[in-house]
Amino acid sequence: MGTSKQPLRKADAVSKRYYTIKKPSGAHLTQEMRKNLARAWNKYVNSSTTISLRRFARLHNLAYATWQRELKRGATGPIIRKGKRWVYPEYDPQQAMESINEGKNNMGTRMKLTISMAILFRYAVLKLKRSPYDARMMIVEALPDRDIPCLKTFYNHIEAGDMGVFHGDTPYHPGKKRKPKNPAHEAKTVPGRRQLKDRPKSASDAKVLGHWEMDTVLSRKGSKGGLLVMLDRCSKHYVIEHINFINQDEVANAIRRMKRRGALPTVLSVTTDNGCEFLDQKRLDKLFNSKVYYTRAYASYEKGSIENCNRLVRRWYPKGTDFNNLTRKQIRQLEDTINSIHRESLNGETAYAYDSCLAKAS
């Protein structure tokens, strides 16, 4: 049984207009396509057959605006209106191409930061919690054939707020540095404790693998335990082990686990603070088979490399986190993430890449 055709409503008629036809996304008119359009269009112009721009665009699967723009570029004469009709000139594809090239030359230099770069940067900073420097290095790896702007350009866009990343969204942003009220002084609580001035020059220069810094990251208040962390001063390789309690026995067991899994292949020296868990210097010397050195009291900046990495831990596990609830897999993932961060101090390399390069060179 056939159905009778219903008259189109006004809204339906508008939706059926030909200018809603669009060429596929990303498609551009090639010179060959322009030649084909020229042959077809000039045939209509030189014959008695009349055709509108909209109908011609529909027949050739083009958007009406696309063909209208192309005809203006390549028109060999003026478009004249005679009464109720328009008289169109012929279309020259070479002239249209020359008009396009002239427009490109007048565009000026390309913008430094493209949309794709902004999307990758926003994802790295907001989702992956990377720093602007690390996010830029990720873009360099993701777009090796592109000219990536310098870090200052990204910071300028952050200040302008036109990239979706605003001041305060980054892990660190400039602020007033707190000055210590009292100057650091020598730790005299344990006679005979080695100080940084006793450390070999190679440890201070941080140009040789095997000179480590050691610290603990505490769980939330009211919870026992935390993380024992170590960092190679040269390659910035970061090693993490969970400890149930902050005491010397737990630290010793964590160090043994690090050595069993090969996380501490070479230990030439260890620098740590004056925490109660690190009091037994002779025991630590025996565990590492190397000498342990201590910073001055209230001078955490003397082992600033590991303090900076501890700040990286707080990106993913802020203060108030109970590390006893983390699984071993989560701790390993945190360790891999931190060691995969691009560092300016390593000339843009990660700790993994820099560590392997030095190991091969040695």
pLDDT digits (tens, 9 = 90+) for 144-166: 888 899 998 898 888 888 788 88
Q: What are phi and psi of 172, to 5 degrees?
A: -130, 140
Range picked from 98-107, 181-190, 335-344 for highest mean pLDDT: 335-344
Average pLDDT over every residue of 39-43: 91
Q: CB of 55 within 8 A of CB of 64?
A: no
Rounded Cα gap, residues 263 and 220, in angstroms: 27
pLDDT at 343 over 70: yes
DSSP H/E element including 226: strand 226-232
Q: Using the 8-state DSSP alphabet, how is residue 218 labeled?
A: E
Strand, coil or helix: what is 238? strand
pLDDT at 83: 79
Average pLDDT over every residue of 196-206: 86
Average pLDDT over every residue of 53-59: 89
pLDDT digits (tens, 9 = 90+) for 89-120: 999 999 999 988 887 777 655 667 888 898 99
pTM beyond 0.75: the answer is no
203 or 228, which is more confident? 228
Q: What percent of the chain has pLDDT over 70?
A: 83
pLDDT at 220: 87
Rounded Cα gap, residues 200 and 136, in angstroms: 36
> For strand 80-82 and strand 85-87, is the pairing parallel, antiparallel, or unpaired?
antiparallel
pLDDT at 142 over 60: yes
Beta bridge partners of 91: 75
pLDDT digits (tens, 9 = 90+) for 235-248: 999 999 999 999 99
pLDDT at 49: 78
pLDDT at 245: 92
Q: What percent of the chain has pLDDT over 90?
A: 36
- Please, which pLDDT band fits residue 20 given cuts at 50, 70 and 90? very low
Listed in sequence order, the DSSP H helices in 129-240 are 132-142, 151-160, 201-205
Rounded Cα gap, residues 136 and 322, in angstroms: 32
Tell me which residue of 205, 358, 230 sits closest to 288, measured CA to CA. Answer: 230
pLDDT at 292: 94
pLDDT digits (tens, 9 = 90+) for 263-314: 998 899 999 998 889 989 999 999 999 999 998 877 778 898 999 899 899 8
pLDDT at 115: 85
Structural tokens at position 12: 């339906």
pLDDT at 24: 55
260 or 81, which is more confident? 260
Average pLDDT over every residue of 217-225: 88
User: What does the mean pLDDT of the chain come to?
Assistant: 83
Average pLDDT over every residue of 205-218: 91
DSSP H/E element including 196: none
